[in-house]
Structure 1
């Protein structure tokens, strides 16, 4: 063996301790631990390499997405996370909380008050968020809450909206405090404002935008009690040549139309939800209220019962003397709600038709018995406590397909 080593070194002319060690151990069996360690280290290095490659690709993809947003015409202002952290005083004044995140009061450098919505735990749908920003920033209508800007920095995703000083509609219509109760004049105006906002979404754009989550919490009021539709997190695009689309169930139980059980929807699901909100405004109570007796908990079932008994005056908001004194007109408005709540979506009106009816442009005889001739609404859609349904991935809406200000 030593002779062999000497000859090998001379031939190679590279005296090496490592070479000697290698040749001395030549033919020996490797220890099992060495084999395991070697194999494990090799696999570890391979996994690290794959992870680094995937991370590099993700970082580049994220940068490309953010670069694309910066180069889209008509985009709302882009803010840094540091800017919004400063404008909200480190997110100290909370305005409200929802299924997607928390809203805080803030002020821009020029003193303009804003509402900053911080989206929590949504990094997995960042692409949908970026597409939504592009879309909402392109919609301009007086009865839709305006998106001023956004932030998309790594895991930080925030939306900056115009500030609505009177908050959400549910703060006002479910009140027992006489000083905060809305009179009939204000309620009529709010109902018309909501109808106009939905009409724009359904018919004012080149392709229909179905909101899919119309409820009292998503209607905001400015300092003059002008109502504006907000929160487009679940909205979906419907081509004008499509009579209906198939989509996963989304929205808030209590406001969801019966056809959600089939997952085949049209813009008429918004009409149904509008009907529920309309009833809440007229009756001054939530569509599901545990404080009521068992037979009166579900407003829609109670509504159907009062129609059959011809006692709709019983449903007019009892906390408001002004609503009571205008009871006949309020009951007439309930006919519009019944029209919108028809179980058969093909029998519901379009929002533009509702808008024209509310403004007195058209006059239609509304037969309440006809609208509620179908079986009662299923409890699976009525829901309990208005808990939000799990949200499916939103459909991105392309800004170029939307019309300009109306």
Structure 2
């Protein structure tokens, strides 16, 4: 209905510019308190802004701070209107548990709306629980706190009677169960219905209702979407108005079609995700609702990370396990990254791959629940300017070997080969013992082990870590060797302690660190790094040589991750310097007839 009223509003606006005069007032036109708020039209009116004949008695609303408020006598105060459905004649109001005029007190006592034109829409049983503030609340993951019902020593929770609390503390007791006009999980929304005599017959005819005229209390049905006003206009004005009206109709049809198409895509994407999850039931991890996430995170209280994917919050599962919950910004998305993440990491069990413990799909709300990594990401330590954050060369070598083993497992240890496509310090998490774990599989792709190369419709990954062939097929074919390249860039950043491409470096010769350090190694010069002992220099040299092998321009010249692990664990004296990986970048275009480029064949995506 909202689309038609928006269309009608545009029609009136355009017609008025064509000097079309109305026999009557346009002060009753649809309005709102803010653009994304509920549309206000008969039987509602904005008090003190629209004349009394614009609305039915008892349906006066007011605007405050962009909110739409309505006064309900039984509540003895104003409540916030969430939305209004004119077709179903239903209004939803917000039951704010923090409000000083808390409607929950009335709900607890059993309020009715006999003094207002509204009645409760539907009921569901909810249980009130009182707990001492000194208790451990970890067992109340499925209960919502109602602060306005508590006191200095107790908190009051409410939960759907169909749900069970995992643990009932001795300091908690059940108060009573009440049928309330709420529905789980949106228990802070109250559903109300109204009935204006005479309006139902209008709705049945596809028309809208209103007063016959300004001085009448009789309800009649209107055409033209609620504006049954006679128009007087001149012939020229009518022609201009008709032309503008046709433009408006065309625009309205386009907007309507676009809205329907987007909604259809949203529904298709929801079905796509649900079908994927249907075949995923037998596997771990556990599926949670969005309301569950709010309890786990104490209403998303502690934010521990932020990125283009969304936000990460610290939480706790019902069994007490501390977790990191990543809320994905996927509204309107097709769910591809979510399916990638759950479909790959959800069935992987390796010491160097982060463990996915749960996920949430609640309409378009999606989230991933991981084991909590107290030392956050590798990025925090290798790019820190504080010497206190330096991990030491032995620990850096251990981290490098752990990441290499994790990638090797993805390439060789699973039923299908998993290509990560986003290996970088930010996606390497560290546990309490600084053991590395690969995370973020939103860009991952799967292929069979017999297929070494994949094709892609668009580049994926993070600039600075993307292999040349990923963003331009002129450089060769995309394969598991693309992850090897990203790992090599990560190794060089671990050695240099800064981004490989650093525009803040004073000496232009050091702007691109990989090429700079390659030249120093070839010329037998010191790498310009600080070492506490000769062993540190040996480790740094090993990591650098392995990294330079990994970032070779041609994918076929890069080693596999199995070979990389052997190089990192073997004798540094046996390592040889690779050919210059930067020569091609200054010698013009690649020779696509080179047999090294053609060695890997492409498969369909």
Which range, TM-score by smaller chain?
Answer: 0.7 to 0.9
Which residue does 1:290 correspond to in 2?
A: 503
Aligned in 2, Cα 1:195/1:50: closer, same or farther, shift over 3 Å? closer
- Deviation track 1:159-214 (CA, whole Å, cap 9, x = no partner) reads 11110010000111123323221112211110110010000000111221111111
Which range moved further: 109-118 or 259-268?
259-268
Answer with 1 or 2: which has the greater Rg.
Answer: 2
Which residue does 1:403 correspond to in 2?
A: none
Alpha-carbon distance between aligned partners in 1 of 2:252 and 2:499, rounded to the nearest angstrom? 58
Structure 1 residue 346 corresponds to structure 2 residue 572: no
Alpha-carbon distance between aligned partners in 2 of 1:142 and 1:148, rounded to the nearest angstrom? 14
Which residue does 2:597 correspond to in 1?
A: none
Does structure 1 conserve the Cα–Cα contact (< 8 Å) formed by 2:382 and 2:493? yes
SS state of the match for residue 342, structure 1?
Answer: coil
Structure 1 residue 253 corresponds to structure 2 residue 460: no
Structure 1 residue 367 corresponds to structure 2 residue 565: no
Matches within 5 A, 1:271-282: 271-282=484-495
Which residue does 1:69 correspond to in 2?
A: 277
SS state of the match for residue 102, structure 1?
Answer: strand
Does structure 2 conserve the Cα–Cα contact (< 8 Å) formed by 1:211 and 1:232? yes
Aligned in 2, Cα 1:211/1:46: closer, same or farther, shift over 3 Å? closer
Structure 1 residue 309 corresponds to structure 2 residue 519: no
Aligned in 2, Cα 1:214/1:47: closer, same or farther, shift over 3 Å? closer
Alpha-carbon distance between aligned partners in 2 of 1:305 and 1:298, rounded to the nearest angstrom? 12
Does structure 2 conserve the Cα–Cα contact (< 8 Å) formed by 1:104 and 1:115? yes
Which range moved further: 201-210 or 70-79?
70-79
SS state of the match for residue 545, structure 2?
Answer: helix
Which residue does 2:204 correspond to in 1?
A: none
Aligned in 2, Cα 1:305/1:122: closer, same or farther, shift over 3 Å? farther
State the TM-score, normalized to the length of structure 1: 0.74
Aligned in 2, Cα 1:309/1:84: closer, same or farther, shift over 3 Å? same
* CA positional deviation for 1:314: 2.3
- Deviation track 1:60-106 (CA, whole Å, cap 9, x = no partner) reads 87357426514521131111111112222222322222221221211
Does structure 2 conserve the Cα–Cα contact (< 8 Å) formed by 1:168 and 1:220? yes
Unmatched runs of 5 consecutive residues or more in structure 1:
1-30, 379-396, 398-406
Give the structure with the higher percent strand: 2
Unmatched runs of 5 consecutive residues or more in structure 2:
1-237, 587-604
| Alpha-carbon RMSD | 3.4
Matches within 5 A, 1:104-123: 104-123=313-332
Matches within 5 A, 1:386-401: none
Alpha-carbon distance between aligned partners in 1 of 2:575 and 2:316, rounded to the nearest angstrom? 47
Alpha-carbon distance between aligned partners in 2 of 1:217 and 1:373, rounded to the nearest angstrom? 25
Aligned in 2, Cα 1:62/1:249: closer, same or farther, shift over 3 Å? closer
SS state of the match for residue 301, structure 1?
Answer: helix
- Deviation track 1:129-167 (CA, whole Å, cap 9, x = no partner) reads 235313321111110011111111112111111100100
Structure 1 residue 200 corresponds to structure 2 residue 442: no
Alpha-carbon distance between aligned partners in 1 of 2:407 and 2:345, rounded to the nearest angstrom? 14
**Which of 162, 170, 181 is the matching residue for 2:390?**
181
* CA positional deviation for 1:300: 1.4
Alpha-carbon distance between aligned partners in 1 of 2:306 and 2:510, rounded to the nearest angstrom? 28
Alpha-carbon distance between aligned partners in 1 of 2:262 and 2:580, rounded to the nearest angstrom? 57
Aligned in 2, Cα 1:51/1:224: closer, same or farther, shift over 3 Å? closer
**Which of 507, 513, 518 is the matching residue for 1:299?**
513
Alpha-carbon distance between aligned partners in 1 of 2:485 and 2:253, rounded to the nearest angstrom? 58
Matches within 5 A, 1:58-97: 59=267, 62=270, 65-66=273-274, 69-70=277-278, 72=280, 73-97=282-306
Alpha-carbon distance between aligned partners in 1 of 2:343 and 2:326, rounded to the nearest angstrom? 16
Alpha-carbon distance between aligned partners in 2 of 1:51 and 1:213, rounded to the nearest angstrom? 34
Alpha-carbon distance between aligned partners in 1 of 2:539 and 2:408, rounded to the nearest angstrom? 23
Aligned in 2, Cα 1:181/1:68: closer, same or farther, shift over 3 Å? closer
Aligned length, in residue pairs: 343
Compare relative contact order (CA 8 Å, sep 6+) and give the higher one, 1 or 2.
1
Does structure 2 conserve the Cα–Cα contact (< 8 Å) formed by 1:78 and 1:149? yes
State the TM-score, normalized to the length of structure 2: 0.51
Does structure 2 conserve the Cα–Cα contact (< 8 Å) formed by 1:77 and 1:148? yes
